[in-house]
Amino acid sequence: LHSDLDKGEGTVKYTLSGDGAGTVFTIDETTGDIHAIRSLDREEKPFYTLRAQAVDIETRKPLEPESEFIIKVQDINDNEPKFLDGPYVASVPEMSPV
């Protein structure tokens, strides 16, 4: 996150609110960089809605309208397969196509 009004003089503070702000996601108040502070799991929560804003560090007034964005968590196969009703038997005939 970066405001065009931020000239790098330390007069802008970035804030973050919404799902997981401060617990799952953090923002560097000086640079506006947003980071996940723990692993995300789509089975736990498939998306997060966050709001970020740049404010004047002295007056605490917003410099721009609040930005809302959605972080969609992609699924990875992080669970090993489980075969509960085994054993299973299968066969493939010789010379079968791939």
pLDDT tens readout for residues 63-93? 999 999 999 999 887 778 888 887 888 899 9
Do the domain assignments include residue 43? Answer: yes
Residue 82, pLDDT score: 83
- Tell me the whole-structure pTM to 2 decimals: 0.70
Number of domains composing the chain: 1
**Would 64 be classed as within a structural domain?**
yes
Q: What is the pLDDT of residue 36?
A: 94
- Residue 39 in any domain: the answer is yes
Would 47 be classed as within a structural domain?
yes
Q: Which domain holds residue 40?
A: 10-70
Task: Flag whether 37 is in a domain.
Answer: yes
Asked if residue 81 is part of any domain, the answer here is: no
1-60 pLDDT per residue, tens: 888 888 888 889 999 999 999 999 999 999 999 999 999 989 899 999 999 999 999 999
The pLDDT value given to residue 16: 96
CATH number at residue 15: 2.60.40.60
What is the SS3 string spanning the chain? CCCCCCCCCCCEEEEEEECCECCCEEECCCCCCEEECCCCCCCCCCEEEEEEEEEECCCCCECCCCEEEEEECCCCCCCCCCCCCCCCCCCCCCCCCC
